Amino acid sequence: MDADEVKITDETVVNTTSMAVLTGLSARRVQQLIQDGTFTTERKGLMRAGDTLRKYHDLLKNSKMDDEDRKLEKSRRAAEVQMKVSKANIASLEAKELNGKMHRSEDVMAMTEDLIYTIRGALIAFPGRVAVDVAACNTAAEASEVIKKEVHKVMRELAGYRYDPKKYEERVRERKDWGDNDDDES
Protein backbone atom coordinates (compact mmCIF):
# COMPACT_ATOMS: atom_id res chain seq x y z
CA MET A 1 0.00 0.00 0.00
CA ASP A 2 1.31 3.47 -0.90
CA ALA A 3 1.80 6.10 1.75
CA ASP A 4 -1.04 8.20 0.22
CA GLU A 5 -3.42 5.25 -0.03
CA VAL A 6 -6.13 4.98 2.61
CA LYS A 7 -8.22 1.87 3.11
CA ILE A 8 -11.86 2.45 4.05
CA THR A 9 -13.82 -0.40 5.61
CA ASP A 10 -17.23 -0.75 7.22
CA GLU A 11 -15.51 0.05 10.51
CA THR A 12 -13.82 3.27 9.31
CA VAL A 13 -15.15 6.30 11.20
CA VAL A 14 -14.91 9.78 9.64
CA ASN A 15 -16.00 13.28 10.62
CA THR A 16 -18.45 15.46 8.69
CA THR A 17 -15.67 17.29 6.87
CA SER A 18 -14.17 14.03 5.59
CA MET A 19 -17.63 12.75 4.60
CA ALA A 20 -18.19 15.98 2.71
CA VAL A 21 -14.98 15.35 0.76
CA LEU A 22 -15.96 11.70 0.06
CA THR A 23 -19.47 12.60 -1.15
CA GLY A 24 -18.74 15.92 -2.82
CA LEU A 25 -21.27 17.63 -0.59
CA SER A 26 -20.65 20.62 1.63
CA ALA A 27 -20.02 19.99 5.32
CA ARG A 28 -23.23 21.89 6.07
CA ARG A 29 -25.24 19.60 3.76
CA VAL A 30 -23.75 16.53 5.47
CA GLN A 31 -24.85 18.01 8.83
CA GLN A 32 -28.37 18.57 7.44
CA LEU A 33 -28.53 14.94 6.29
CA ILE A 34 -27.50 13.88 9.80
CA GLN A 35 -30.16 16.11 11.34
CA ASP A 36 -32.94 14.79 9.10
CA GLY A 37 -31.92 11.18 9.85
CA THR A 38 -30.60 10.26 6.40
CA PHE A 39 -27.08 9.76 7.82
CA THR A 40 -26.50 8.28 11.27
CA THR A 41 -23.62 9.07 13.59
CA GLU A 42 -21.61 6.89 15.97
CA ARG A 43 -20.67 9.79 18.17
CA LYS A 44 -21.19 13.50 17.77
CA GLY A 45 -19.91 14.44 14.31
CA LEU A 46 -18.48 10.98 13.55
CA MET A 47 -20.02 8.37 11.29
CA ARG A 48 -19.15 5.02 9.76
CA ALA A 49 -17.88 5.73 6.25
CA GLY A 50 -19.12 2.54 4.54
CA ASP A 51 -22.65 2.73 5.96
CA THR A 52 -22.93 6.46 5.25
CA LEU A 53 -21.64 6.09 1.68
CA ARG A 54 -24.22 3.32 1.02
CA LYS A 55 -26.97 5.61 2.35
CA TYR A 56 -25.67 8.42 0.15
CA HIS A 57 -25.69 6.07 -2.85
CA ASP A 58 -29.30 5.09 -2.07
CA LEU A 59 -30.18 8.77 -1.73
CA LEU A 60 -28.75 9.45 -5.20
CA LYS A 61 -30.49 6.42 -6.66
CA ASN A 62 -33.84 7.57 -5.26
CA SER A 63 -33.28 11.16 -6.36
CA LYS A 64 -34.96 10.44 -9.71
CA MET A 65 -38.21 10.11 -7.87
CA ASP A 66 -37.23 13.20 -5.92
CA ASP A 67 -36.85 15.08 -9.22
CA GLU A 68 -40.45 14.20 -10.03
CA ASP A 69 -41.50 15.25 -6.54
CA ARG A 70 -39.58 18.50 -7.00
CA LYS A 71 -41.41 19.15 -10.29
CA LEU A 72 -44.74 18.52 -8.59
CA GLU A 73 -43.75 20.78 -5.70
CA LYS A 74 -42.68 23.50 -8.12
CA SER A 75 -46.01 23.21 -9.95
CA ARG A 76 -47.88 23.31 -6.65
CA ARG A 77 -46.01 26.46 -5.57
CA ALA A 78 -46.68 28.09 -8.95
CA ALA A 79 -50.38 27.26 -8.59
CA GLU A 80 -50.42 28.72 -5.07
CA VAL A 81 -48.80 31.92 -6.32
CA GLN A 82 -51.30 32.15 -9.16
CA MET A 83 -54.16 31.59 -6.71
CA LYS A 84 -52.85 34.33 -4.40
CA VAL A 85 -52.46 36.74 -7.33
CA SER A 86 -56.01 35.93 -8.46
CA LYS A 87 -57.38 36.51 -4.95
CA ALA A 88 -55.49 39.82 -4.76
CA ASN A 89 -56.93 40.87 -8.13
CA ILE A 90 -60.45 39.97 -7.00
CA ALA A 91 -59.99 41.90 -3.75
CA SER A 92 -58.70 44.90 -5.70
CA LEU A 93 -61.67 44.80 -8.08
CA GLU A 94 -64.11 44.48 -5.17
CA ALA A 95 -62.48 47.47 -3.45
CA LYS A 96 -62.77 49.51 -6.64
CA GLU A 97 -66.41 48.48 -6.93
CA LEU A 98 -67.15 49.44 -3.32
CA ASN A 99 -65.39 52.78 -3.80
CA GLY A 100 -67.44 53.50 -6.93
CA LYS A 101 -64.38 53.40 -9.22
CA MET A 102 -65.63 50.39 -11.16
CA HIS A 103 -69.07 48.98 -11.91
CA ARG A 104 -70.13 45.50 -12.84
CA SER A 105 -71.63 45.05 -16.27
CA GLU A 106 -74.94 43.85 -14.79
CA ASP A 107 -75.21 47.10 -12.75
CA VAL A 108 -74.45 49.24 -15.81
CA MET A 109 -77.01 47.24 -17.77
CA ALA A 110 -79.64 47.74 -15.05
CA MET A 111 -78.94 51.48 -14.83
CA THR A 112 -79.11 51.73 -18.64
CA GLU A 113 -82.46 49.94 -18.57
CA ASP A 114 -83.67 52.47 -16.00
CA LEU A 115 -82.65 55.28 -18.36
CA ILE A 116 -84.40 53.59 -21.27
CA TYR A 117 -87.58 53.19 -19.22
CA THR A 118 -87.38 56.87 -18.25
CA ILE A 119 -87.09 57.83 -21.95
CA ARG A 120 -89.87 55.41 -22.86
CA GLY A 121 -92.13 56.86 -20.16
CA ALA A 122 -91.47 60.42 -21.36
CA LEU A 123 -92.22 59.47 -24.98
CA ILE A 124 -95.40 57.58 -24.09
CA ALA A 125 -96.63 60.54 -22.02
CA PHE A 126 -95.75 63.02 -24.79
CA PRO A 127 -98.94 62.72 -26.90
CA GLY A 128 -101.12 63.23 -23.83
CA ARG A 129 -99.09 66.27 -22.78
CA VAL A 130 -99.46 68.02 -26.15
CA ALA A 131 -102.84 66.79 -27.41
CA VAL A 132 -105.04 69.45 -25.79
CA ASP A 133 -102.66 72.32 -26.60
CA VAL A 134 -102.22 71.18 -30.22
CA ALA A 135 -106.00 70.77 -30.65
CA ALA A 136 -106.47 74.36 -29.53
CA CYS A 137 -104.05 75.64 -32.21
CA ASN A 138 -105.45 77.32 -35.33
CA THR A 139 -102.45 76.79 -37.61
CA ALA A 140 -99.86 74.16 -38.26
CA ALA A 141 -97.13 76.62 -37.25
CA GLU A 142 -98.77 77.10 -33.85
CA ALA A 143 -99.10 73.32 -33.42
CA SER A 144 -95.47 72.90 -34.43
CA GLU A 145 -94.38 75.46 -31.84
CA VAL A 146 -96.39 73.73 -29.07
CA ILE A 147 -94.86 70.35 -29.99
CA LYS A 148 -91.38 71.89 -30.20
CA LYS A 149 -91.72 73.40 -26.68
CA GLU A 150 -92.88 70.06 -25.26
CA VAL A 151 -90.02 68.19 -27.00
CA HIS A 152 -87.53 70.65 -25.49
CA LYS A 153 -89.17 70.18 -22.07
CA VAL A 154 -88.82 66.37 -22.35
CA MET A 155 -85.19 66.76 -23.52
CA ARG A 156 -84.39 69.00 -20.52
CA GLU A 157 -85.90 66.39 -18.19
CA LEU A 158 -83.84 63.64 -19.81
CA ALA A 159 -80.71 65.81 -19.74
CA GLY A 160 -81.17 65.96 -15.98
CA TYR A 161 -80.74 62.20 -15.79
CA ARG A 162 -77.23 61.94 -14.31
CA TYR A 163 -74.83 59.31 -13.13
CA ASP A 164 -75.63 58.75 -9.47
CA PRO A 165 -72.94 56.87 -7.56
CA LYS A 166 -75.39 56.30 -4.70
CA LYS A 167 -77.65 54.27 -7.02
CA TYR A 168 -74.71 52.05 -8.02
CA GLU A 169 -73.77 51.71 -4.34
CA GLU A 170 -77.35 50.65 -3.56
CA ARG A 171 -77.12 47.98 -6.27
CA VAL A 172 -73.83 46.69 -4.86
CA ARG A 173 -75.32 46.55 -1.37
CA GLU A 174 -78.37 44.66 -2.68
CA ARG A 175 -76.17 42.18 -4.54
CA LYS A 176 -73.92 41.66 -1.50
CA ASP A 177 -76.99 41.44 0.78
CA TRP A 178 -75.77 44.38 2.85
CA GLY A 179 -78.54 46.35 4.45
CA ASP A 180 -78.57 50.02 5.38
CA ASN A 181 -78.04 48.99 9.00
CA ASP A 182 -74.45 47.92 8.18
CA ASP A 183 -73.46 51.59 8.16
CA ASP A 184 -74.63 51.93 11.76
CA GLU A 185 -72.56 48.96 12.93
CA SER A 186 -69.22 50.19 11.50
Distance CA 95, CA 98 (A): 5
Query: What phi, psi does 20 have (nearest 5°)?
Result: -60, -40
Position 175 scores a pLDDT of 78
pTM of the model: 0.43
Low-confidence ranges of the chain (pLDDT < 70): 1-3, 63-67, 178-186
How close are the terminal C-alpha atoms of the chain, in Å?
A: 86
Domain boundaries, the chain: 13-61, 65-102, 104-185
pLDDT in tens, 32-45: 888 888 888 888 87
Q: What is the CA radius of gyration of the chain?
A: 41
